[in-house]
């Protein structure tokens, strides 16, 4: 990709609101004419990023380049881009025509041209003959069409859309998705679209940017994002998936759920711990258990319209989600296969918790904003140390006073036979926990660690 190709380039963009970092060193290049979607759960920073491109927020550091010029400090009214807001933000005191003509009038476009362009924009959003209507009398879908017309009538170089369809009902949303895609092709301008709806992102986009915690997790085409997620967050967020702990025995051979499978991935090394992703529709299920790769017992079977969704407990005690056009009876024994190309292997992001801390005495260490007892390992007060704790050695307690420090369950990943939790402590650090207990997102928990499970090494 040459530099001329990119219309917007974002470099090292960061933003914090108070103590909370909402965008952390974002780098992104957007091609001219591209339909790019910023996708992520609420609070991931996608809207903040869009508002920064629009000019409503100033970055703490980093630059936004538009066609090579730094626009980070250009006020919104001088940026050649327009926004479609989530709640339409039409001007209630103006009718449909005057809403759409608002930008053109400000730019002192001749009235004959304004009229022609407004009509053309209305035609584009299939709202011809609505010029004189009061905007408050329109339905949600119609208001959003007017909002889109109001933006595109100014012929912006880039159109920003902030969850424009979130307030519409499902049927209307599907229709509008198709219309937006068509509009993008007709206009040929760059669309930057923000959504939390992964299906919408996959349907509409040329490129999807998956965000979480103020960071970009993955940038890729919808097919790449779906088939080759780079980490367990992306795999879990995009579509349904089984995410499991595995071991790469050697190239093209991976072990998980207690069985060894042939796969197509290479280059992880021998006996390397990995995460394995298998989509529910990629597990083949047969009634005849004898010739199968592995077997299991059907635990539940729910009709979902096109397919049945089943949970199966495998012979080695792992729970898998499957989708199939045929229903299998609950409690029946079934056989299963997975094709090598349907097994997606990911590098593990981490294999144990590592915290930075400080010795408070020879048998006490301060980490995560609390004091933990530890075995005497010859270190003295004031020494800076690294403390590592295995995921399964972190204990979570209902009664938050019982723990040494307090945290909030932030993210839960089911790994077939246990849960992998991300717990955010009061000190703002993340603790990863493997547990069989069921917790809910947002639970406030006490965190403690046994003396013998803290492994301390001096920081050099």
Partner 1 sequence: MKKFFAQTYLWLLLALLYAPILIIGVFSFTEAKVLGNWTGFSTKLYTSLFAGGVRHSLIDAIENTLTIALIAAAVSTILGSIAAIGIHNMRGRRRQAIFFLNNVPMLNPDIITGISLFLLFISLGISQGYMTVVLAHIAFCTPYVVLSVMPRLQQMNPNIYEAALDLGATPFQALRKVIIPEIRPGMISGFILAFTLSIDDFAVTIFTIGNEGLETLSTFIYADARKGGLTPELRPLSTIIFVTVLILLIIINVRSRRAARKQENI
Which residues of this protein are in contact with partner 1, per CB under 8 A?
54-56, 75-78, 81-83, 85-93, 102-103, 106-107, 134, 136-137, 150-151, 154
Minimum Å distance from CB 27 to partner 1?
25
Shortest Å, Cβ 114 to partner 1 = 13
Cβ 45 to partner 1 shortest distance, Å: 18
Nearest alpha-carbon partner for 22 in 40, 46, 53: 46
Q: Of the two residues 121 and 285, which places its CB atom closer to partner 1 in the complex?
A: 121
Cα–Cα distance for residue pair 277/165, rounded to 1 Å: 30
Cβ closer to partner 1: 81 or 283? 81
Cβ-based nearer residue to partner 1, 117 or 150: 150
**Least distance from C-beta 426 to partner 1, angstroms?**
21
Is the four-CA dihedral 220, 176, 46, 186 of positive or negative sign?
positive
In the complex with partner 1, the residue whose CB is nearer, 109 or 172, is 109
To the nearest whole angstrom, how small is the minimum distance from the Cβ of residue 159 to partner 1?
11
- Least gap, CB of 387 to partner 1 (angstroms): 37
Provide the token pair at 426: 């009061």
Task: Provide the 8-state DSSP code for 393.
Answer: G
Q: Considering beta carbons, is residue 92 or 305 the nearer one to partner 1?
A: 92
Nearest residue (CB) to partner 1, 78 versus 380: 78
Q: Give every strand in the sheet of 253-256, ordered side by side.
A: 259-262, 253-256, 242-250, 272-278, 344-347
CA distances from 124 to 134, 135, 180, 199, 364 (A): 19, 18, 10, 25, 69
Give me the torsion for CA of 327, 332, 333, 338, rounded to 10°. Answer: 20
Residue placing its CB nearer to partner 1 in the complex, 29 or 82: 82
CB 121 within 8 A of CB 108: no
Other residues' Cβ atoms within 10 Å of the Cβ of residue 419: 16
Distance separating alpha carbons of residues 175 and 87, to the nearest angstrom = 18
Residue among 63, 18, 86, 349 at smallest CA distance from 212: 349
> In the complex, what is the shortest distance from the CB of residue 139 to partner 1, in angstroms, rounded to a whole number?
11
Give the residues across from 262 on adjacent strands. 253
- Report the nearest approach of partner 1 to the CB of residue 137 (Å): 4
Q: Helices in 82-231 by DSSP H: which ranges?
A: 96-106, 111-124, 140-152, 170-187, 198-204, 222-227
- H or E stretch including 232? helix 232-237
Structure tokens belonging to residue 46: 């996608």
441 with 412: CB under 8 angstroms? yes
| Cβ atoms 345, 265 nearer than 8 A | yes
Smaller CB distance to partner 1: residue 103 or 357? 103
Task: State in angstroms the smallest separation of the CB of 443 from partner 1.
Answer: 27
Q: How far is CA 314 from CA 189, 289, 455, in A?
A: 50, 12, 35
Considering the complex, state which of residue 88 and residue 268 has its C-beta at the smaller distance from partner 1: 88
Angle at Cα 272 formed by Cα 271 and Cα 277, nearest 5°? 115
Task: Report which of 233, 217, 218, 215 is spatially closest to residue 24, judged by C-alpha positions.
Answer: 215
Nearest approach, Cβ of 56 to partner 1 (angstroms)? Answer: 5
314 phi, psi to nearest 5 deg: -80, 170
Cβ-based nearer residue to partner 1, 155 or 418: 155
N-term to C-term CA, the chain: 42
CB of 152 to partner 1, least distance (A): 12
Q: 42 or 107: whose CB is closer to partner 1? A: 107
Q: At closest approach, how far in Å is the CB of 117 from partner 1?
A: 13
- Of 19 and 440, the one with the shorter C-beta distance to partner 1 is 19
């Amino acid at each position: 990709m040459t530099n001329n190709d990119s219309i917007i380039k974002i470099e090292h963009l960061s933003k914090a609101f108070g103590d909370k970092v909402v965008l952390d060193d974002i780098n992104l290049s957007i091609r001219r004419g591209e339909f790019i979607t910023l996708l992520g759960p609420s609070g991931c920073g996608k809207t903040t990023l869009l508002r920064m491109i629009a000019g409503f927020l100033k970055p703490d550091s980093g630059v936004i380049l538009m066609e090579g010029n730094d626009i980070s400090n250009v006020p919104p009214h001088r940026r050649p881009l327009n926004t479609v807001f989530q709640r339409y933000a039409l001007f209630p005191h103006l009718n449909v025509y005057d809403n759409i003509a608002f930008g053109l009038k400000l730019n002192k476009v001749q009235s004959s041209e304004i009229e022609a362009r407004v009509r053309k924009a209305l035609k584009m959003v299939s709202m011809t003959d609505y010029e004189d209507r009061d905007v408050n009398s329109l339905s949600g879908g119609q208001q959003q069409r007017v909002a889109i017309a109001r933006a595109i009538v100014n012929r912006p170089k880039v159109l920003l859309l902030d969850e424009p369809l979130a307030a519409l009902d499902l049927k209307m949303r599907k229709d509008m998705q198709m219309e937006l895609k068509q509009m993008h092709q007709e206009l040929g301008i760059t669309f930057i679209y923000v959504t939390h709806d992964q299906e919408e992102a996959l349907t509409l986009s040329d490129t999807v940017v998956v965000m979480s915690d103020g960071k970009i997790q993955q940038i890729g085409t919808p097919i790449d994002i779906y088939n080759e997620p780079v980490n367990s967050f992306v795999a879990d967020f995009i579509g349904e998936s089984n995410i499991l702990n595995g071991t790469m025995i050697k190239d093209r051979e991976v072990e998980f759920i207690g069985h060894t499978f042939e796969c197509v991935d290479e280059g992880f090394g021998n006996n390397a711990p990995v995460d394995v992703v298998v989509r529910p529709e990629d597990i083949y299920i047969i009634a005849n258990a004898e010739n199968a790769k592995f077997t299991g017992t059907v635990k539940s079977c729910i009709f979902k319209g096109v397919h049945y969704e089943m949970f199966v407990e495998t012979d080695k005690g792992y729970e898998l989600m499957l989708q199939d056009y045929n229903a299998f009876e609950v409690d029946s024994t079934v056989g299963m296969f997975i094709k090598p190309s349907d097994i997606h292997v990911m590098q593990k992001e981490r294999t144990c918790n590592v915290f930075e801390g400080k010795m408070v005495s020879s048998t006490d260490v301060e980490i995560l904003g609390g004091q933990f007892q530890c075995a005497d390992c010859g270190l003295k007060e004031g020494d800076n140390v690294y403390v590592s704790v295995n995921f399964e050695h972190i204990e979570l307690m209902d009664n938050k006073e019982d723990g040494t420090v307090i945290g909030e369950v932030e993210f839960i990943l089911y790994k077939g036979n246990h849960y992998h939790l991300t717990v955010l402590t009061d000190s703002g650090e993340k603790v990863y926990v493997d547990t069989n207990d069921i917790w809910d997102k947002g639970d406030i928990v006490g965190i403690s660690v046994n003396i013998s499970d803290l492994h301390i090494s001096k920081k050099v």
